[in-house]
Amino acid sequence: MDNILTIDVEDWFHILDIPSLPPLKTWVKLESRVVSNTIFILDLLDKYKTKGTFFVLGWVAEHFPDLVREIEKRGHEIGSHGYSHELIYNLTPDRFRRDVSLSLEHLSRITSRPILGYRAPGFSIVPETLYALDILVELGFYYDASIFPMKRNHGGFPGFSEAENWMTTPRGNRILEIPVTPINWLGKKIYLFGGGYFRLAPYLLIEQAITYLNARGKPALVYLHPREFDVNHPRLTMSLARSFTTYVNLKQTRSKFEHAIAQFRFSSIETIWNLFSSDSYLIAS
């Protein structure tokens, strides 16, 4: 079966919730590595004939439109990761709407197909920000991939039920929800397929967990960032704990990822859910 491959396309300085985060107006002056790191991932995916969903930050689309064209040209799905990489629960509903609209403006100018999916920075759709789903429906999104159904540093929705993919929003709209995929282990939910979790877990465990999910008819959802493939990217100052989860085992990302895509099938969300040929998408558009 197909597992779900997602990449959040942002640069090395798009780290959430740290005092040393450079302000948005200074981003253009920083050395950017997002293009080369993303091309590296695209080449790896070509090698294994694998497609994925790339949630591109609007700021990246604005400054590197050719990168977005390249991702689309190579057959991947483009989604939105917002414009300025802010946690939703730090925004008002109006600022959230403006942020996502701006990302759509930049992405839609570049892509030839409509943008169907959104992922929040830091998986920040939590019980208090469910209103964001109504705003996504209002802006024309068909699905959301921003729920992390367990505790984490920021974001996290521990009580979320993964049994159903269709969610009813607070205002009664319906939206397809693609949460990350934890597994139950010794009575606890654990997640192994993205970011620091992926870099920390031994590959053998990741392999067993994907096999376990697939045997039960469930896809594993992988999420990674271009910077995680780049051992030499500049580091930001942060607490020891954050520094550990942000930078641990960067050397292993490539080999583990390559193992995973060689061993298991992965695809984009639009392919797995058949979004471009479904009747319901035609209604949503």
> How many chain residues touch Zn ion (CB under 5 A)?
3
Which is nearer to Zn ion, 84 or 280 (by Cβ)? 84
Q: How far is the CB of 194 from Zn ion (least distance, A)?
A: 11
Indicate whether 11 belongs to the interface with Zn ion (CB under 5 A): no
Is the C-alpha dihedral spanning 190, 195, 197, 202 positive or negative? positive
Which of 8, 99, 228, 230 touches Zn ion (CB under 5 A)? 8
Residue 100 Cα to chain centre, angstroms? 15
CA distances from 186 to 29, 158, 183, 216, 271 (A): 48, 17, 10, 17, 33
* Amino acid identity, position 70: E
Using CB under 5 A as the binding rule, the residues of this chain from 111 to 170 that contact Zn ion are: 121
Choose between 54 and 281: whose C-beta lies nearer to Zn ion. Answer: 54
Of 7 and 110, CB closest to Zn ion: 7
Q: CB of residue 81 vs Zn ion: minimum separation in angstroms?
A: 6
Name the 3-class secondary structure at 38.
Answer: helix
Q: Three-state SS string across 117-154, please? A: EECCHHHCCCHHHCHHHHHHHHCCCCEECCCCCCCCCC
Is the CB of 8 or the CB of 62 nearer to Zn ion? Answer: 8
CA distance 118 to 101: 11
DSSP 8-state secondary structure symbol assigned to residue 234 = P
The answer to the question of residue 72 lying near Zn ion (CB under 5 A) is no
Which of these segments, 1-9, 26-34, 110-118, 253-261, binds Zn ion (CB under 5 A)? Answer: 1-9
Whichever of 121 and 284 has its CB closer to Zn ion, that residue is: 121
Nearer to Zn ion, 10 or 72 (CB): 10
Interacting span for Zn ion (CB under 5 A) from 2-10, 25-33, 148-156, 238-246: 2-10
CB of 8 to Zn ion, least distance (A): 4
CA distance 244 to 139: 37
Read off the tokens for 78.
């483009």
- Nearest distance from C-beta of residue 85 to Zn ion, angstroms: 6
Residues lying near Zn ion in the complex (CB under 5 A) are found at: 8, 10, 121
